[in-house]
Structure 1
Amino acid sequence: MSPTTKTRLVTLLSAISLSALAACTTVGPNFQAPETPQTTAYISQDEALPASAATLDQAGVGPWWTALGSPELDATIRQALAGNPSLAEADATLAQARSALAAARGAAGPQAGVSAGVDRERANLQSFGFTSFGDITLSNPTFSLYSVGGTVGYDLDLWGGQKRRIESATAQAQAQGRRAEAAYLSLTANIALQAATIAALQGQIAAVERMIADDQANIDLVRKADALGGTTRLAGVSAQAQLEQDRAQLPPLQGELAAARHALALLVGKAPADWRAPAFTLDTLKLSAPVPVVLPSALVRKRPDILAAEAELHVATADIGVATADLYPNLKLSAGLTQGALKPKDLFSYDASGWDIGAGLTAPLFDGGTLKARREQARAAARAASARYQQTVLTAFGQVADALSALSADESALAAQDRVEAQAAERLRLSRLAFSRGGGTLLEVVDAQRALNAARATRARAEGRKLADAIRLFAATGADWRVS
């Protein structure tokens, strides 16, 4: 083939491709993002927003957990973001989805290939009826055949099936990216929750240890009074029983603390024996800023699981177009050039060239209803994806509402617990004063001490519960997890 012929061949193929491409259409529904919900609030008007939450129609800046004011928590989360196996899996799955998108885009473009070969052949002339030439008996010749060539093919995608496949793969990559963001948000929230659990347990253990110390002080007081003949044996037995009862509270709390530390180690990506959790306390793990609560209309554009559900709906919508395009005829263009010769030096001569150009049309005639059934299957999948999206939105609204109500109740309970603790402390002061002046009994002192210690332990639990509910509210509102 001469250079001019080759140029004309390529030009002809390109012109046919472009003209046919211009006439292409894309079948199937075009995706439209779901309408923004009309809900304007998370909780009813008769419920009060917690004081530690602020309604904002914008995302916070930077990692959300910095609002807890703990450098130890920040360091722990950063370590987990670098080493958690679940995040590594999410990142690898995201890379897989992006590679699938690249493959779909590549398949929609022109396909070109080259080939080269050397064959050693022995021709069977007798199979063609050639056995002799005059008086000369012909023998089967043996020779080598050298060849090199290339092919070009292009699917015109008349009905946009390839475009819909690319659209579907793009949405799948977006969905996986949102799932990865949800995994990051879930991980950071779970780490903060375990830190809050550790802090609350540390507070409860400290309260119980203080109870034990006070019990021991009461026993010493009984012994002194008994030496002076001012008490009975019953008082001593009661004081000792109270000490043993309070000591029995420590092992379960210590077991829960060990389990929380182990769980935190696993979240960081370490074995419990190879990593020790920081000593989180309620004094160092506190809300230093209000929890930003976005409006419902903004939540659907911010929370990663909602965005993932929307992308999955996009995938299902695009798949309808893919199934619809399969119902119609398809046209593919192809061209090939082959150079073949018996000697390498003749391989690239004009006489050694051969070429072909063509167009192939394929169309379904009878398939027993398979293709239409696949389209209906795709439509049903889209309806299911739409329902999942709506359910995801409702679930998100419910989680935010639950967290807001819980946090509001926590604040009220904590304020009430502060009053209980103050009253118990005053009662203990007065009972001790009365006992020291002979106007009260030791049992009154022990009872007042027990009430104060119980109030302190309850307050530690209430503080930890408020912290945990604030963390859940951060996660429910799709707070930014990214490290700046």
Structure 2
Amino acid sequence: MKEHPRQRVSRPQHVAHLLAPLSLLCLALAGCTVGPDFVRPDAPANADYSREKLSTTAQADIDTGGAAQRLIAGMDIPGQWWALFRSPALNALVEEALRANPDVSAAQAALRQANELVYADQASLFPSVSGNVQKAREKVSGVTSGLPESPILTVSSASLSVSYAPDVFGGTRRQIEATSAQAEYQRFQLEATYLTLTANVVNTAISLASVRDQIAVTEEIIRLQGGQLDLLQAQRRLGAISDADVLTQQTALAQSRATLPPLQKQLAQTRNQLMAYLGRFPNQDQGERFNLASLQLPQALPVSLPSDMVAQRPDVRSAQAQLHQASADIGVAVANQLPQFSITGSLGSTVAGGTKLFSSGSGVWSLAGAITQPLFDAGALEHRKRAAVAAYDESAARYRGTVLTAFQDVANALRALEADADALNQQVVAERSAQASLDLVQTQFRLGAVAYINLLNAQQTYQNTALARVRAQAARYSDTTALFQALGGGWWNRTDVDPATKGRPDRFGLPSWQEIMPATKKPAPSDSARFD
């Protein structure tokens, strides 16, 4: 309520000295923040990915996936690391997944919630101001008041109240620190979601390409076996071979055909998984096709320094944020054991019926300072502090475990790249030898120089080596993706976090009209809940 100039109630001058001692005490202790100050853990000393240094992988004599890969220590990781596969279709799918995947939307909402809670806790550092206007009619008993009649009184009052809890020992600041650490945890959970999603999309595309190439190899083998069966049937009609050879070839052809449905099922299920990553339903498949030849194997691979890798991994940074939160919680628990200070005051006017508010002589005010010290709580606060210390020890152990897992992931990816290159090299040699052997045995069989069992063995060997070569090619692409994921995925080179997740530190706010007046019809779902 706005004051009228002639109705202003001046505060008595002698009130200030009542608050002075308490204010001086609060100022003297304002710089005190109890509990431990968090220190970021140092990078592990003498930690590395292996005892032997790996610099270059083997090369296979094949165009798709056969190039040697160079491992460059200290090389930075691009934010869009998937672009190194040189596939525009793959790039488009990853970008679509980042826009439409529900896990990303959920992680962004969690980060926005955490930031808003930080702002809510920061409000505890400011005074709280509230206004009150009241009008009451009351019938007073004449017997108790000593009046001949029972009068009806009308009392009007208006006041402005201020309350403030000085953060003398830093408990509020430690709580804000803990909430900020929780927001940092959600920040890196979002980055972990980005990293996992992009790696899953790339790996799913690689799986689609591998299965499609395996289907193509299987269909080619079926074609060769079918042609061989026609030849055997012609020879059987001429009496050159027995029925047993024809039946054996028919069995081999049927077995090869039987391997197609599982591959086709795997292809369909993998595509359904890709649709889920993209935020689509299975019937919204737009027919994106991948084969290994459409993906280029990155030849220059980064290997982050061990000290850098710890700072790059989202899971390590999340564990560090949880450790920070646990450290701040100790300070909160300690502050709760110490005296709690509060200052309250009010200024207003109270009048009886027929008199205007803020008229002369109607002013009222109050001012109070309080200190509360827990004296006996059966040890509850002490045990809560010990629990906070134990929680910190737990977080510290989990942080060390997360760092160990991070080094293990990088070491596994590096070893896998080395093994995959050697395996592909040998599989290419084996496939070419098997194909040359099959061609030779087929020629010899037509001339009657070898038995049919030799031809059958040659067919089966070639089939197995061809499929193994495709899987070895795909493994190099998948483990290259695993290395990028193990090193953190280059999130520090991206700026794709939605700015809305930061929220706004508004200090004044009231519900909107839509929030005050509920709609008469059922509201539409929010954008995050729609299936467009």
Give me the TM-score of the superposition, normalised by structure 2: 0.83
2:225 aligned to 215, 220, 227, which one? 215
**Match of 1:283, SS?**
helix
CA contact (8 A) 1:222 1:442 kept: no
Asked if residue 385 in structure 1 is aligned to residue 392 in structure 2, the reply is no
Partner of 1:134: none
Matched, 1:41 2:48: yes
CA–CA distance in 2 between the matches of 1:302 and 1:233? 67
Alpha-carbon separation, structure 1, partners of 2:420 and 2:448:
41
CA distance in 1, matches of 2:326, 2:133: 43
- 1:60 paired with 2:73, answer no
Query: How much does 1:199 deviate?
Result: 1.4
Q: Which of these residues, 220, 226, 246, is aligned with residue 236 of structure 1?
A: 246
**Which AA in structure 1 matches 2:226?**
Q
Post-superposition shift, 1:18? 7.3
Deviation at 1:466, TM superposition (A): 2.0
Distance 1:467 1:237, change over 3 A: same
- How far off its partner does 1:58 sit? 4.9
Distance 1:276 1:54 in 2: 37
How far apart are the structure 2 equivalents of 1:260 and 1:11? 77
Structure 1 equivalent of residue 127 of structure 2: 110
Please say if 1:166 is aligned against 2:176.
yes
Provide the C-alpha distance between the structure 1 equivalents of 2:92 and 2:327, rounded to a whole number of angstroms.
43
Q: Which runs of 5+ in 1 are unaligned?
A: 132-137
| Match status 1:5 vs 2:11 | yes
Residue 424 of structure 1, CA deviation: 1.6
Partner in structure 2 of residue 187 of structure 1: 197
Offset, 1:33: 0.4
Contact 2:34–2:334, Cα closer than 8 Å, also in 1: yes
Is residue 421 from structure 1 mapped to residue 431 from structure 2 by the alignment?
A: yes
Residue of structure 2 equivalent to 1:78: 95
d(CA) in 2 for partners of 1:7 and 1:297? Answer: 62
Q: 1:483 to 1:148 in 2, by over 3 A?
A: closer
1:146–1:344 Cα contact (<8 Å) kept: no
Structure 1 stretch displaced more, 440-449 or 79-88: 440-449
State the secondary structure of the residue aligned to 1:222.
helix
Cα displacement string for residues 192-249 of structure 1 (whole angstroms, at most 9, x for unaligned residues): 2222221111111111111111111111222343455544433322221211111111
Give % identity.
34
**Which residue does the alignment assign to 1:474?**
484
- Is 1:123 aligned to residue 130 of structure 2? no
Q: Which moved more, 1:75-84 or 1:181-190?
A: 75-84
> Which residue in 1 is equivalent to 2:26?
20
Are residues 39 and 262 of structure 1, via their aligned partners in 2, closer, same or farther at CA, if it must alter by over 3 Å?
Answer: farther
Contact 1:205 1:253 in 2 (8 A): yes
Please list the CA deviations of residues 13-54 of structure 1 after superposition, one character each: whole Å capped at 9, or x if unmatched.
Answer: 699657623432111110000011113421222777645352
Where do 5+ consecutive residues of structure 2 fail to align? 1-6, 58-67, 497-532
Rate the CA distance shift 1:11–1:274 in 2: closer, same or farther, 3 A: farther
Contact 2:312 2:490 in 1 (8 A): no
Could you report, residue by residue, the CA deviation over 1:300-340 in whole angstroms, capped at 9, with x for unpaired residues?
A: 11111100100100000001000001111121111111212
Displacement of 1:10 in angstroms is: 8.5
Q: Distance in 2 between matches of 1:461 and 1:212?
A: 19
Deviation at 1:4, TM superposition (A): 5.0
Is 1:302 the counterpart of 2:312 in the alignment? Answer: yes
Measured in 1, the distance between the counterparts of 2:354 and 2:74 equals 74
Alpha-carbon separation, structure 2, partners of 1:471 and 1:420: 26
For 2:460, which of 450, 466, 482 is the aligned residue? Answer: 450
Relative to structure 2, which stretch is displaced further, 186-195 or 224-233?
224-233
Matched-pair contact (CA < 8 Å) for 1:17–1:333: no
CA distance in 1, matches of 2:377, 2:332: 17
2:304 is aligned with what amino acid?
A: V
**Structure 1 residues 6 and 276: alpha-carbon distance in aligned structure 2, compared to 1, 3 A threshold:** farther
Change (3 A) 1:378 1:264: same
Change (3 A) 1:416 1:179: same
Contact 1:68–1:289 (CA under 8 A) maintained in structure 2: no
Task: Classify 1:156/1:200 alpha carbon distance in 2 versus 1 (closer, same or farther; 3 Å).
Answer: same
2:36 to 29, 35, 56: 29
Do 1:400 and 1:473's aligned partners in 2 also have CA atoms closer than 8 Å? yes
- The number of equivalent residue pairs is 477
Distance 1:339 1:112 in 2: 17
Tell whether the 8 Å contact from 2:424 to 2:472 is kept in structure 1 after alignment.
yes
Evaluate the alpha carbon distance shift between residue 328 and residue 63 of structure 1 in structure 2; reply closer, same or farther with a 3 A threshold. Answer: same
Structure 1, 309-318 or 240-249: larger mean CA deviation: 240-249
Which of 88, 105, 110 does residue 88 from structure 1 map onto?
105
Deviation at 1:288, TM superposition (A): 3.1
Superposition deviation, residue 363 in structure 1: 0.4
Aligned residue type for 2:113: Q
SS of 2:293's equivalent? coil
Q: Which moved more, 1:307-316 or 1:333-342?
A: 333-342
2:152 is equivalent to residue 146 of structure 1: no
Within 2, Cα distance between the matches of 1:14 and 1:459? 84
157-166 or 220-229: which moved more?
220-229
Distance in 2, matches of 1:6 and 1:213, equals 104
Residues in 2 aligned to 1:296 and 1:122: alpha-carbon distance in whole angstroms: 81
Q: What is the alpha-carbon distance in structure 2 between the residues aligned to residue 166 and residue 33 of structure 1?
A: 18
Specify the alignment match of 2:404 in structure 1: 394
Query: Structure 1 residues 207, 369: closer, same or farther in 2, change over 3 A?
Result: same
CA distance in 1 between partners of 2:20 and 2:288 (Å): 66
Q: What SS does the corresponding residue of 2:374 show, helix, strand or coil?
A: coil
> How far is 1:480 from its partner?
2.4
Going from structure 1 to structure 2, the CA distance change for 1:249 and 1:354 (only over 3 Å counts) comes to same
